[in-house]
Amino acid sequence: MLDLNAKTEFDSLDYDTLYQTCRSCVRCGLADTRTQVVVGYGPVPCDLMIIGEGPGQQEDVEGRPFVGKAGQLLTKILESVNIDREKEVYISNVVKCRPPQNRTPFPSEIEACKPYLLRQIQIVKPKIILLLGAPSLKTVLEESLSISKVRGKWYRASVDYMTDELYIMPLFHPSYLLRNQDKSKGAPKWLTWQDIQEVKTALTFYRQDDKAD
């Protein structure tokens, strides 16, 4: 598991300053081919954070994560359990710039971008993180686990920003679901619709807990 409490050179930066710093980043080669940096989008702080792989073509143009076809499917998945994407989710990616032809980001690119992700998590202070797809899973859990084995499972991490443990769940990437349209029982789509219900239950539990405090 990635140490989510690790200090970064961005430790003293608040969200807006981190955002502006990231927007002009030239730490890796993706800076040469991107249109713009897609830092992240959503309320800050936020109970639920989603971490994808990297911006695609549409995201690179609009400057916002998950606005293309995969993003539309993500919205539907969240809506199926009444999670309002605009108001209740902070969304980002392991790399903030589009890899050419949407290739998988190189480990060196993920490494260069990691301090942004870490500081982002520390500022957004999520209670639940969803990891979409293999690079996201590998970066945060730091294990070569196959998504089909670990999706829907809760992982836990100690974080300095709250007493409770942070809950982390890997899910299939919506792009993968777009290529696997089968909805029958046990298929990736069906499993994802089960997983998101688990997430909703956990989120509701946290909210009741907050009210009781």
Applying CB under 6 A, which residues contact ligand URA?
52-56, 59, 65-66, 68, 70-71, 93, 133-134, 147, 172-173, 175-176
In whole angstroms, the minimum distance from the beta carbon of 13 to ligand URA comes to: 22
Structure tokens at 174: 């919506």
In whole angstroms, the minimum distance from the beta carbon of 55 to ligand URA comes to: 5
In whole angstroms, give the CA distance from residue 18 to residue 11: 9
In the bound state with ligand URA, the residue whose beta carbon lies nearer, of 5 and 180, is 180
In whole angstroms, the minimum distance from the beta carbon of 86 to ligand URA comes to: 15
In the bound state with ligand URA, the residue whose beta carbon lies nearer, of 63 and 161, is 63
In whole angstroms, give the CA distance from residue 37 to residue 64: 9
In whole angstroms, the minimum distance from the beta carbon of 90 to ligand URA comes to: 13
In whole angstroms, give the CA distance from residue 162 to residue 34: 36
In the bound state with ligand URA, the residue whose beta carbon lies nearer, of 66 and 155, is 66
In whole angstroms, give the CA distance from residue 105 to residue 53: 8
In the bound state with ligand URA, the residue whose beta carbon lies nearer, of 115 and 188, is 188
The residue number whose beta carbon is nearest to ligand URA equals 52
Question: What sign results for the dihedral spanned by CA atoms 176, 179, 183, 187?
Answer: negative
In whole angstroms, the minimum distance from the beta carbon of 179 to ligand URA comes to: 9
Q: What is the DSSP string of 70-114?
A: HHHHHHHHHHTTT--HHHHEEEEESSSSPPGGGPPPPHHHHHHHH
In the bound state with ligand URA, the residue whose beta carbon lies nearer, of 68 and 159, is 68
In whole angstroms, give the CA distance from residue 44 to residue 38: 16
